[in-house]
Amino acid sequence: QVKLVESGGGLVQPGGSLRLSCAASGSIFRINAMGWYRQAPGKQRELVASITSGGSTNYADSVKGRFTISRDNANNTVYLQMASLKPEDTAVYYCNVVGSTRWYESGYNHWGQGTQVTVSS
């Protein structure tokens, strides 16, 4: 099993910045991709940003130019640097890892518990 530990959430004023981090641990053979999703009350969970083990990234249109995802493959850690935060960024942010524990396994989703990000004055 893969365990994800998230940190960095909190309360910030509009225009402020936060950095989220997520470290994956456990019996890991391969991580195909890591990413961040978010879910606001009454809304579906949506992809914010993702990054492959090779460094290829993609972002939701709503965060392009403001958020940056990065990873430390050696430590199985993914980061989300969030800048110019807006009230509409308020949500629970979930770390996601697509990975496997054996060479013959296809990657499957692992989820963190989520960390609250609140953008408000």
Q: Shortest CA distance to 36 belongs to which of 62, 16, 54?
A: 62
Contact criterion met (CB below 8 Å) for 36 and 26: no
12-55 pLDDT tens trace: 999 999 999 999 999 888 899 999 999 999 999 999 999 998 89
Contact criterion met (CB below 8 Å) for 94 and 8: no
Contact criterion met (CB below 8 Å) for 29 and 90: no
Return the pLDDT at 53: 84
73-107 pLDDT tens trace: 888 899 999 999 999 999 999 999 999 989 898 88
φ/ψ (deg, to 5) at 8? 110, -10
Return the pLDDT at 74: 85
More confident residue, 28 or 57: 57
Q: Shortest CA distance to 121 belongs to which of 31, 29, 14, 27?
A: 14
| Residue 86 DSSP class | -
With 90 as the cut, is the pLDDT of residue 113 above it? yes
- The pairing of strands 10-12 and 115-119 is parallel
At which residue do the structure tokens 């949506």 appear?
Answer: 46
With 90 as the cut, is the pLDDT of residue 10 above it? yes
